[in-house]
A = this chain, B = another copy of it.
């Protein structure tokens, strides 16, 4: 007998309501029954995105919605700013290159957060810049960006602000309208507690003006087609019906818990996790701007980081994530995002302690769990 625990920054665990919804017989998508579902999903997404703008549902991974942003907003020879502080920031640059868009890359040391004034300098120097591409929570490093501060800056220029909120939306605060986020991109398998397969994208009026001017080729991810379909409560192409039906379930759950409570819960989980890591003598990879969706931790000297992750997963059933790209083997990432509460954290920390002990790392068994419990008991 073995139970499995999922503490990765996507996919995140599915609530039983989601599993049940996914396991139901399928219905046809061009029916009044599915239209009612699409309508409820659209309203629920506006609540989570904190926007009055339309939020489109795409059948793709989050990257598909990132491509939709680049392909619909820009044209070849346009210039955009991309903020690269990890693997997912780099994706914006790669997408711009794929579409012939000049990227002014702001390189940020992995684990550090971008200084918003750096973005303002670039916008001042080049008034032709059409878009600023940023990342809410850089999953690869566990860093959270100050989108509110960046939004205030970008609003003063003609550029639009595009945020990859794939990791983080529905877990940490992002007020799309109040903060001036023109295009916000997210995905189903993180804060939304669903399997991967859906992406979401909101588009402001300022962004629609760019869409009408864009000369990039696009079809499946064309937002103009999506808008025409949405006006008839439809999708341009067959959507991932079962995932949309499950989306309505999670949106109901999220509305019932309330965004403020969801953010508080994630904050508490992050706090307990960080406290536990410190008590185990471990260092955070990004102490200056840690995300409350995922905590990246330096692998201590003398410990094989990849073996740590594999042993937790393959021997004990607790899946956390290792490091990506240049952080491979150097960090592990302990996620506390989505359908996660205190005893998931306790289980994860306990398993981490067990394997660290087996691997010869010196610490007092129980210290991590105790520190987490102390945070939870104070809430």
Interface of A with B (CB < 8 Å)?
A: 4, 6, 8, 10-14, 19-20, 22-32, 59-64, 67, 70-71, 94-95, 98-100, 187, 189, 195-197, 216-222, 237-243, 313-314, 319, 321
B63 and A219: CB pair below 8 A? yes
A22 and B23: CB pair below 8 A? yes
If A4-B27, A23-B22 touch, whether A64 touches B220 (CB-CB below 8 Å) is yes
**Which of B61, B195, B217, B313 contacts A99 (CB under 8 A)?**
B217
**Complex CA distance for A60 and B314, rounded to whole angstroms:** 31
Which residues of chain B come closer than 8 Å to A19, judged between CB atoms? 23-25
Nearest-Cβ distance from residue A313 to partner chain B, whole angstroms: 7
**Which of B31, B60, B70, B71 contacts A313 (CB under 8 A)?**
B31
Nearest-Cβ distance from residue A319 to partner chain B, whole angstroms: 5
**Complex CA distance for A243 and B189, rounded to whole angstroms:** 13
**Complex CA distance for A351 and B29, rounded to whole angstroms:** 21
Nearest-Cβ distance from residue A130 to partner chain B, whole angstroms: 16
If A31-B319, A60-B60 touch, whether A197 touches B243 (CB-CB below 8 Å) is yes
A63 and B196: CB pair below 8 A? no
If A23-B19, A23-B23 touch, whether A32 touches B314 (CB-CB below 8 Å) is yes
Which residues of chain B come closer than 8 Å to A195, judged between CB atoms? 26, 240-243
Which residues of chain B come closer than 8 Å to A187, judged between CB atoms? 238
**Complex CA distance for A4 and B4, rounded to whole angstroms:** 35
Identity of the chain B residue whose Cβ is nearest the Cβ of A245 in the assembled complex: B195
Most chain B beta-carbon contacts within 10 A, residue among A14, A23, A99: A23
Copy total for this chain: 2
A25 and B8: CB pair below 8 A? no
Nearest-Cβ distance from residue A62 to partner chain B, whole angstroms: 7
Identity of the chain B residue whose Cβ is nearest the Cβ of A58 in the assembled complex: B60
4 smallest A-B Cβ distances: which pairs? Answer: A23-B23, A197-B240, A195-B242, A22-B22
**Complex CA distance for A241 and B197, rounded to whole angstroms:** 8
**Which of B8, B59, B95 contacts A61 (CB under 8 A)?**
B59
Which residues of chain B come closer than 8 Å to A61, judged between CB atoms? 59, 220, 237-240
**Which of B22, B27, B216 contacts A242 (CB under 8 A)?**
B22
If A189-B238, A197-B242 touch, whether A218 touches B32 (CB-CB below 8 Å) is no
Which residues of chain B come closer than 8 Å to A8, judged between CB atoms? 28
Which residues of chain B come closer than 8 Å to A243, judged between CB atoms? 195, 197, 240
- Can you report 20 A-B residue pairs in the complex whose CB atoms are below 8 A from each other? A6-B25, A8-B28, A11-B26, A13-B25, A19-B24, A19-B25, A26-B189, A59-B60, A59-B196, A61-B220, A61-B240, A63-B237, A63-B238, A64-B237, A71-B217, A94-B219, A95-B219, A197-B197, A197-B242, A220-B221
**Complex CA distance for A11 and B240, rounded to whole angstroms:** 10
Nearest-Cβ distance from residue A6 to partner chain B, whole angstroms: 7
**Which of B10, B11, B28, B220 contacts A67 (CB under 8 A)?**
B220
B197 and A67: CB pair below 8 A? no
**Which of B218, B239, B314 contacts A98 (CB under 8 A)?**
B218
Which residues of chain B come closer than 8 Å to A319, judged between CB atoms? 27-28, 31
B196 and A241: CB pair below 8 A? yes
A62 and B238: CB pair below 8 A? yes
Most chain B beta-carbon contacts within 10 A, residue among A14, A25, A321: A25
Which residues of chain B come closer than 8 Å to A242, judged between CB atoms? 22, 195, 197
Which residues of chain B come closer than 8 Å to A4, judged between CB atoms? 25, 27
**Complex CA distance for A12 and B64, rounded to whole angstroms:** 26
B26 and A6: CB pair below 8 A? yes
**Complex CA distance for A238 and B60, rounded to whole angstroms:** 9
Nearest-Cβ distance from residue A209 to partner chain B, whole angstroms: 21
